[in-house]
Chain A
């Protein structure tokens, strides 16, 4: 019996379609990546083994730069509006509420806040600004700020984050912690770069056993 002859097919596959897919994905990833915005305050964070990714919503970020100057930033504009109004009524600062809402961060004592808001956003550079005074325990404005933040967030959860520069001295950090304590903020997060757990240490052993880490 005669066998049906199978047509010999070429083993070459047309790669064009696959190439299209690959580059489509590539362009998708490139376009969707959020670039790190150029920061007005230059801070290099230390690294830690903490594995929890920092929250990105409802954050109140306190930044300490290398000279120990303190800055505050918030992402929620409605909360900033509340704070601006409170400041205007309690301290008579005559702040521009719209500008206050749009400001990315604050880095001036209350007395100089309206002058700070008068500077255009791109002109506010961390190294040229005075920062929020917190050195003096009697005039710890960070503490006042935290009080304002807490009342603005009344009842809602605010993620308090602290981002310090490697080179900043401990007293600056301590002053901020004192301001937190004064407002009964006893939980906060410190922003760090991820680092792998050193091999052979106890944490590494427990991670190998599959135990969940208690933060």
Chain B
């Protein structure tokens, strides 16, 4: 370690009073280097395990050909969630009535409350969530909504094809939403 002797001061001295410079030890304190080493180790350990991809399991139902084989659901316990483009979410409870008055619009942030609200109002064994992704929605939306099922512990849910009427409704609502975005 190079160190300047500043303590003596007073410029050059001569004669018997001259100070001999102390022999400095060559040992370097390695403690900060150890610290750094372990810091880097912890950093590497954390960053490597974090990026492991996880697998989300999905079980598909077998397609039932005969109507009597299909699962029945109580109308009062059904909530249908439709996914539109640009992360739009729509839902209705029970059956869609003719004037589509129970067709409501929401977002991915609020859909959790909608599901929880429905869950609180229906007996557990009757609750069925029907998920209908439209042609326009993305894979991410589908995974997000399936994830929402896991987060809200909905045991019964189904991924169903969207019907023409519903697809039309989603499109119309999206067009209306674009015209009046303040909501």
Contacts and interface: CB of A to CB of B under 8 A. Distances in A.
Interface of A: 14-16, 18-19, 22-23, 25-26, 29-30, 33, 36, 45-46, 48-55, 64, 161, 164-174, 177, 180-181, 184-195, 197-198, 201-204, 206, 215
Given A22-B37, A29-B44, A50 B150 contact: yes
Interface in B113-134: 116, 133-134
A203 B150 contact: yes
B47 to A, nearest CB: 9
Interface string B82-124: 0100000000000000000000000000001000100000000
B44 A52 contact: no
Contact-residue size bin, chain B (C-beta under 8 Å from the other chain) = 35 or more
Most A CB atoms within 10 A — which of B48, B55, B144? B55
Given A26-B44, A33-B48, A201 B53 contact: no
Given A166-B140, A169-B138, A170-B138, A49 B147 contact: yes
Contact of A15 (B33, B63, B139, B140): B33
Most A CB atoms within 10 A — which of B57, B133, B139? B139
Contacts of B116: 202
Given A18-B34, A45-B53, A189 B138 contact: no
Contacts of A23: 37
Contacts of A203: 150-153
B30 interface: yes
Given A15-B31, A166-B140, A187 B54 contact: no
Most A CB atoms within 10 A — which of B30, B53, B142? B53
Nearest to B144: A46
B3 interface: no
Interface string B51-63: 1111111111111
Interface of B: 29-31, 33-34, 37-38, 40-41, 44-45, 48, 50-63, 83, 112, 116, 133-144, 146-147, 150-153, 159, 161
A45 B55 CA distance: 11
Given A45-B53, A52-B54, A169 B135 contact: yes
B135 A188 contact: no
By Cβ-Cβ distance, the 6 closest A-B pairs, closest first, are: A22-B37, A15-B30, A189-B55, A164-B139, A54-B55, A50-B56
Contact of B134 (A170, A197, A198): A170
A71 B152 CA distance: 33
Contact of B135 (A64, A171, A195, A202): A171
Contacts of B56: 48, 50, 52, 189-192
Nearest to B137: A170
B154 to A, nearest CB: 9
A33 B43 CA distance: 13
Contacts of A187: 57-60
B37 A19 contact: yes
Contacts of A168: 138-139
6 contacts: A22-B34, A48-B54, A49-B151, A164-B140, A190-B55, A202-B153
A190 B140 CA distance: 11
A30 B44 contact: yes
B139 A169 contact: yes
A66 to B, nearest CB: 9
B126 to A, nearest CB: 17
A64 B30 contact: no
A197 to B, nearest CB: 7
B14 to A, nearest CB: 37
